[in-house]
Structure 1
Amino acid sequence: MSNNIPRAASELSQEEEPVAAEVWSVDPRTGERRESVGHEATAADVDAAVRAAEAARPALADRETRIALLRAAAEELEAAGEEIIATADAETALGTTRLTGELGRTTGQLRAFADEVADGGYLDLTIDHADPSATPPRPDLRRTRLPLGVVAVYAASNFPLAFSVPGGDTASALAAGCPVVVKAHPDHPAVSELCVAAVRRAAERVGLAELADGVLSVVHGFDAGVELIRHPLVAAAGFTGSIRGGRALFDAAASRPVPIPFHGELGSLNPVVVTAAAAEERADAIGAGLAGSMTMGVGQFCTKPGLVFVPGGPAGDALLKTLAERVDEAPAGVLLDGRMREAFLEGVRERAALQDVTAPVVPGEADGRTVAAGFLTVPAARLADPAHGVLLEECFGPVTVIARYDVGNGDGEPTEVIGALERLAGNLTASLHIGADEAEDPTGPAARLLAALTPLAGRVLVNGWPTGVAVVPAQHHGGPYPATTSTSTSVGVAAIDRWLRPVAYQDTPPALLPPELRDENPLGLPRRVNGRRELG
C-alpha cells in the first residue's frame, strides 16, 4: 500500500479521473444481482466526502444538537424499519427475525449514546485548583476531552446494521462530536444507502440540513477504503472484519505522515473449556448449548466458539453425543457471500485432513448455495504440533473444533488444557464451564483455568456462551491482538472513548474556559474537583 496523501479533488483533472465501477446489490441465496446501488467512489469522491465531514465538525460541537441527532436517527431508522429489514435480508440471508433484533440493538445503541452525552460523564471532567503552598507550587489545572475529528468506519459483513453504517462505531463517533465517513461493505450496499439516508433525515430534523451530507456519508469500493485511511483529514478509524484486511489498514494508518488511531476488530477463536466436573453434572445441557452457539447465524458471529476443550471419558462422550444430535438437526444455511463460502469449505477441508482429526458431524457443502454445520475432534495433545497450528485459527462459518483432553489421575488438574491455552493468540471472549463445587473453591483447578483464560480475552464467561453481546455500560467487546488492535471496547457507551482526546487547561482565565470547566458548572455535569466527585 502506498502511503502518499491523496490530492484534493480540485487537483485531479477529468483525464486523470478513472471510470468508476458499478456497485451491485447481490442476493446470496441465488448469487444473482438485485439492483444497481451506484458506483465505486473515486479518489475525488472520497476527498469530497471527507471534506464535507470536516465542514460539519463545528456544528457537532454542540452537545444538545448531538443528543437530538442520535435520538432522531433512532426514530428515522425505526420509521424505515420494514424496508431496511427486508433489504438487509435480501442482501445477507440473515433472516427477518435476526435482523429485527439487530435493528432494535442499533436504535438502542443510538439512544444509549444520547443518554451518555446528556449525562456528561464521558468527558471525565477533572479540576485541581491552584495551591501556591504546595511543594512545588501547583497551578490551576482543568481537564476535559475533545473530539478527534473525522472518523472513518469500515462496515462489518455479518452485522449490516449494528456494526455497519448506523452501528456502534458510527453512533459512538457522532456522540463524541466526530462526523463519520463509512466505507460500506460490498455484501450489503443497498441497505447501507437506506441507513445513511435515514440518519441524514435525522440531521435535517435537528437543524443540520445544509450539513447532513457531511454528518454521515457512505463510500463504496475497495480503493475507496484505501483512499479513506490515507486522507489527511481523517483523524481515526474503526474496522470490523478479517485479520488480513484489518492489518493492512492498521499498518497504513500507522505509517501515514501523521499516524492515526485505528480501532480494528480482526478475528477471534473464542476458546471454551469444560471441566470434568461440569461434564459430569450437565453433559446434555452443555452439548445443546454449544450446538446453539456455534450454529447461530450460520456460524457467522465474531464470538462463535471455535475451539472447545472437552474431557475424555464417559461424561465427555455424552456431551459430544448431544452435540452431534443437535448439530445434525441444524438446518443448512447460506453464508454472506460466495467468497466466504469457499473460504469456509477450504478451511474445513484443511482441518479435516490433519492427522487424528475426525468429523462426527461433517461440515461442508449442502444443497444449492447452502452449507451444513458440523464439528471436528482432535486429541488436545495434538495442538502442540506445529502441523496442527491451523486448528488454533478462526474458521468463519458453522464449524468448531473439539479438543479432547486427558483428565489425568483424577485430581482434576488441567495441565494439558493450560499448556494448550498458552499457545493461543488474543480473543474477544473465553469461556469456562465448571461444576457446582468448583464455584466455591478459589484455589482449585477451575480457578487456575480461569486465571489462564483471563489474559486471552476481553470478556471471560463462566457457565455461559459467548454469542450474545449485551449493550450495557459494563460490557467490553475487544481483546488482545488479533481480536482487536487496541484496548478499547466497540460495544457499550465506553466505546465513545476511542474518538476523544484529553486536553488540560492550565491557569486559564475563567471567561476563556469551556463552560463545563468553569467553577460555576453552568451545564451541571459530573466532575471531580480537588479529588472529590461532584454530581453536577
Structure 2
Amino acid sequence: MQIKGEMIIGRQAVQGKEGTVKAVDPSLNAQIEPAFGLASASELERACALAWTAFDQYRELPLERRAKFLETIADRIMDLGPALIERAMQETGLPQARLEGERGRTCNQLRLFAKVVRDGRFLTATLDSALPDRQPAPRPDLRLRKIGLGPVAVFGASNFPLAFSVAGGDTASALAAGCPVVVKAHSAHLGTSELVAKAVQKAAIECDMPEGVFSMLIGAGQTIGQNLVAHPHIKAVGFTGSRSGGIALMKTAAARPEPIPVYAEMSSINPVFMLEGALQSNARLPQAFADSLTLGAGQFCTNPGLLLAIDSPALDKFIEGAKAAIEAKNPATMLTPGIHQAYTSGVAKLAAIEGVSLVAQGATTGMTCGAVAALYSTDAANFLAKPDLEGEIFGPCSLLIRCRNEAELVQVAEHVEGQLTAAVHATAADIATARKLLPTLERKAGRILFNGFGTGVEVAHAMVHGGPFPSTSDSRSTSVGASAIDRFLRPVCYQDVPAELLAPELSNDNPLNIARVVNGDLAWNA
C-alpha cells in the first residue's frame, strides 16, 4: 500500500490543507517522504460529527458483529505485511524483531477484546425482579447494563507505534465498549499511522460499520489535540505520553461545560527493591537489570528507573556486576531527535545534583540519536531531601538509592510517587522485609512483581497497566488487559421498561446466553 500523506475521516482518505509535516528517520535525523497534510478545524468537526452520528447505531450492533469487526482489523493489519514493519523501522529506529513482536501484540489485543465482547460479561447485565407484594412498599422491575460513554479521542504514543497507537489498546478497548474512535496520530510515525488507519478503515467498510466508527487526524497536539478533547461530541480520552502533556489534556477536559474523563498514562520510575537474600544468591541480577534498563533504548514506561537496596557487601558486588554489564552496552537509536535531546538533558541534570555519583556508563559512539546507558547512585537521605531526583528520565538511565537499614528502605518506599510497577527481588530469607514493603507498594503501584522487572507487559485478562498519579490520571483503570474496556463504559438502570424496548442482554430469556446476575445470584440461563 502506497503512503500518500493522508488522514482518515470516516470512509474518506483526506489530505489536510493546514500546512504539512514530514516524519523523521531518527537514525539519520533526516525527513522522510511524503509530506502529510495537517487537519483543519472543519476536518476535525467532520470527524467528531461522524463519530457522534455513528455512536447510537454502533453501540447497539449485535455483539458478534462488534467482535468480528475487531478481528477483521487484526487481519487487515497483518495483510499489510512487510511494508508496515519497514516503514515503522524507518520512522522509529526500532529493530525488525521488536516491531514484528509489537504487531503481534497489537493484533492479539484486538482479538482479546473480540473475546471479551462475545463473552458479554463486560455488560454487567443485572436483573432484579419486581416484587409487587412486598411490604411496606413494592419493588419495581430493575435491570442494569453498561453502555459506551460515547466517541473517544485516542492519542498515539511515541514509544509504541503499533500497540499504543492508531489501532492499539485504547482504540481496541474503546471500540469493544461500543465507542467510536477519533485518533490523533503521533507525529513521530505518520506513515505507520496512515497504513494502520487505512487497515482499520478497510475493516470498517468490509464489516459494514457506521461510517464514523473510526477516523484519524494529523496535527499539532497544541491545536488539533486540545481542540479534539474540547469538542462536545468527544466523551472520553485515552492518552499515553508525558506528564505535562497528560495534565494539559486533563485541564482541557475538566474546563469543558461537560467535563469528561481523561485516561492518561504519564510518568513512572518503577522502583526495584533488591533485598539482601536476592543480592546474595542471584548472580544474574546485575545482567538482568542492565538488559531491562536498555531494552528498547530504555523507552518503556515500565523501565527500571530507580533501584533501592540496603548497604552491604552483597550490594557492592551487585554494583560491580551492573557496572560491567552496563559498560558493555552499546548505544541504541532513540525514537526521535527530540526524545534524544530530552534524554541527554535529563541525564546531565541528574549528574549535576549534589550527592549523586556516576556508577557506570555504556559505550559511546557518534551514533545519531544514540542513547548511552547510565547508572547513578545516591543515598536515601539525599533522595528524600531533593525532589528533582524523582523525575522520570525517559531512556536507559537509572538511579540507585543506598539505604542504611530496613526502616530507611520502607521510608523511601513511602516517599515515592505513584507508579505503574514496583518490583521486589527476594528469597525466602527476605519474606519478613517483603511483608513490610507490600502494603506500601499496593498503595503506590498498579502492578507488583517479584524477582523480575516491569518491562514486558503481558496482554491478559489479569494485567493492570495503570497506577496512582502521576503514573496515570485515574488509578482505578488500566490501559492493558481485558479490564481496559471498563474505562469507556457507564451503567444504566432500566426501571419498569417494557420488554419490547429492552436490549437482548436484559431480556428474560437471555438470548445471548451470557452470564448475568439475577436477583442477586450469578446465572447463565436465566
TM-score by length of 2: 0.93
1:457 is aligned to 2:445: yes
Q: Which residue of 1 aligns with 2:350?
A: 351
Q: In structure 2, the residue corresponding to 1:170 is in which secondary structure? A: helix
Q: Which residue of 2 aligns with 1:321?
A: 320
Give the counterpart of 1:422 among 414, 421, 425.
414
Deviations 1:262-317 (A, max 9, x none): 110011011111111221121x2211111111111000000001110123221001
Q: In structure 1, the residue corresponding to 2:284 is in which secondary structure? A: helix
Letter in 2 for 1:457: A
1:437 is aligned to 2:406: no
Residue 23 of structure 1 contacts residue 189 of structure 1 at CA under 8 Å; is this kept in 2? no
State the distance in 2 between where 1:435 and 1:44 align.
60
1:340 is aligned to 2:339: yes
Q: Which residue of 2 aligns with 1:128?
A: 128
Q: In structure 2, the residue corresponding to 1:508 is in which secondary structure? A: coil
Deviations 1:76-105 (A, max 9, x none): 101113111111111001111101000000
Q: CA deviation at 1:136?
A: 4.4
Q: Which residue of 1 aligns with 2:27?
A: 29
Matching of residues 118-517 of structure 1 within 5 Å: 118-131=118-131, 132-208=133-209, 211-212=210-211, 214-222=213-221, 223-282=223-282, 284-362=283-361, 366-369=365-368, 370-386=370-386, 389-407=387-405, 414-439=406-431, 444-486=432-474, 487-517=476-506
State the distance in 1 between where 2:111 and 2:213 align.
21
Deviations 1:423-466 (A, max 9, x none): 21111001111122334xxxx22200122222110001111110
Residue 363 of structure 1 contacts residue 398 of structure 1 at CA under 8 Å; is this kept in 2? no
Residue 331 of structure 2 contacts residue 362 of structure 2 at CA under 8 Å; is this kept in 1? no
State the distance in 1 between where 2:220 and 2:194 align.
14
Question: Structure 1 residues 103, 212: CA separation in 2 closer, same or farther (over 3 Å shift)?
Answer: farther
Q: In structure 1, the residue corresponding to 2:161 is in which secondary structure? A: coil
Letter in 2 for 1:207: D
Q: In structure 2, the residue corresponding to 1:520 is in which secondary structure? A: coil
Residue 331 of structure 2 contacts residue 371 of structure 2 at CA under 8 Å; is this kept in 1? yes
Q: Which residue of 1 aligns with 2:8?
A: none
Letter in 2 for 1:192: S
State the distance in 2 between where 1:425 and 1:180 align.
32
**Bigger mean CA deviation after superposition, 358-367 or 159-168:** 358-367
Residue 153 of structure 2 contacts residue 184 of structure 2 at CA under 8 Å; is this kept in 1? yes
**Bigger mean CA deviation after superposition, 98-107 or 415-424:** 415-424
Letter in 1 for 2:473: T
Residue 348 of structure 1 contacts residue 363 of structure 1 at CA under 8 Å; is this kept in 2? no
Aligned length: 504
State the distance in 1 between where 2:212 and 2:158 align.
24
Q: In structure 2, the residue corresponding to 1:237 is in which secondary structure? A: strand
Deviations 1:395-442 (A, max 9, x none): 1011100111124xxxxxx11111112221111001111122334xxx
Residue 180 of structure 2 contacts residue 212 of structure 2 at CA under 8 Å; is this kept in 1? no
Deviations 1:231-263 (A, max 9, x none): 110111100000001100011001101011111
Deviations 1:181-224 (A, max 9, x none): 1111111111000000001111121123xx44643333332211
State the distance in 2 between where 1:124 and 1:483 align.
28
Q: CA deviation at 1:152?
A: 0.2
State the distance in 2 between where 1:82 and 1:243 align.
34
State the distance in 2 between where 1:111 and 1:320 align.
43
Question: Structure 1 residues 274, 134: CA separation in 2 closer, same or farther (over 3 Å shift)?
Answer: farther
State the distance in 2 between where 1:274 and 1:456 align.
17
Identity in percent: 40
State the distance in 2 between where 1:395 and 1:274 align.
21
Q: Which residue of 2 aligns with 1:107?
A: 107
TM-score by length of 1: 0.91
Q: CA deviation at 1:58?
A: 3.8
State the distance in 1 between where 2:86 and 2:17 align.
31
Question: Structure 1 residues 349, 135: CA separation in 2 closer, same or farther (over 3 Å shift)?
Answer: farther
Residue 348 of structure 1 contacts residue 364 of structure 1 at CA under 8 Å; is this kept in 2? no
Letter in 1 for 2:397: V
Q: Which residue of 2 aligns with 1:524?
A: 513
Letter in 1 for 2:257: P
State the distance in 1 between where 2:150 and 2:130 align.
31
Q: Which residue of 2 aligns with 1:38?
A: 36
Q: CA deviation at 1:364?
A: 9.1
Q: Which residue of 2 aligns with 1:9?
A: none
Q: CA deviation at 1:332?
A: 0.6
**Bigger mean CA deviation after superposition, 67-76 or 56-65:** 56-65
Letter in 1 for 2:258: V
- What stretches of structure 2 of length at least 5 have no aligned partner? 1-15
Q: In structure 1, the residue corresponding to 2:152 is in which secondary structure? A: strand
Letter in 2 for 1:501: R
- What stretches of structure 1 of length at least 5 have no aligned partner? 1-17, 408-413
State the distance in 1 between where 2:130 and 2:399 align.
60
State the distance in 1 between where 2:75 and 2:396 align.
35
Letter in 1 for 2:82: E
Q: Which residue of 2 aligns with 1:533?
A: 522
Q: In structure 2, the residue corresponding to 1:234 is in which secondary structure? A: coil
